[in-house]
């Protein structure tokens, strides 16, 4: 869940859209701006160094939207719709991640079964090949039969290697 990049991106997108709703709702409320400044000027007289002029200024500005013709409410509804879409996308990513895990697990299980079957097939082909070689020594089998058995053994070994590769890939998934 935490290592899935698509799911993490969808989660962050949903959080951002939720924050956008709060921002749009905040536009209905009054806004206050505070600014202040202070300063000291040099002496008023060159002969009196203790008499300094100090200026302090403070300002508070309060703004409240009175009439917006439904603009703010419209933006809030739009942000809510975007959040609903982001939640649906997040749910879709969760389902997709779960489906990917189930599929990967199924592939791993199938690959493990194929490896076991491949090992048994190789063992059977080795026994058959060894038996064909002995029978060929006693004149009961032809060289072609031995070559066919050897080809079946090589084919079984390739199938086993392919099954092992599939298992490694499924493990990584």
Sign of CA dihedral 103, 105, 111, 113: negative
Q: What's the DSSP call for residue 66?
A: -
At residue 102, the pLDDT reads 93
pLDDT in tens, 30-88: 888 999 988 777 666 666 666 777 788 999 998 887 877 888 889 999 999 999 999 99
Give the whole-angstrom CA distance, residue 20 versus residue 14: 10
Tell me which residue of 101, 114, 96 sits closest to 162, measured CA to CA: 114
pLDDT in the model for residue 43: 66
Q: What's the rounded Cα separation, in Å, for the pair 6 and 14?
A: 12
pTM, two decimals, is 0.60
Q: What is the pLDDT of residue 48?
A: 67
How far apart (Å, rounded) are the C-alpha atoms in residues 173 and 171? 5
133 pLDDT band, cuts 50/70/90, is very high
- Tell whether the model's pLDDT for residue 12 goes beyond 90: yes
pLDDT of residue 95: 94
CB 88 within 8 A of CB 54: no
pLDDT for the residue 44: 63
Check residue 67 and give its pLDDT.
Answer: 78
pLDDT of 84 reads: 96
Cβ atoms of 108 and 25 closer than 8 Å:
no
pLDDT at site 22: 92
């Amino acid at each position: 869940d935490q290592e899935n990049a698509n799911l993490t991106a969808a989660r962050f997108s949903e959080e951002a859209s939720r924050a956008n709703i709060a921002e749009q709702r905040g536009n209905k409320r009054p806004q206050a701006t505070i600014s202040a400044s202070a300063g000291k000027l040099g002496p008023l007289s060159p002969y009196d160094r203790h008499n300094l002029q100090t200026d302090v200024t403070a300002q508070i500005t309060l703004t409240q939207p009175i009439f917006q013709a439904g603009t703010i409410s419209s933006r809030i509804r739009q942000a809510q719709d975007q959040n609903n879409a982001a939640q649906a996308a997040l749910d879709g990513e969760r389902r997709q991640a779960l489906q990917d895990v189930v599929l990967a697990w199924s592939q791993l299980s199938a690959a493990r079964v194929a490896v076991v079957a491949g090992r048994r097939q190789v063992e059977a082909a080795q026994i058959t090949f060894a038996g064909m070689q002995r029978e060929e020594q006693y004149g009961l089998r032809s060289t072609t039969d031995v070559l066919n058995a050897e080809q079946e053994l090589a084919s079984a070994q390739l199938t086993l290697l392919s099954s092992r590769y599939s298992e490694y890939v499924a493990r990584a998934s």
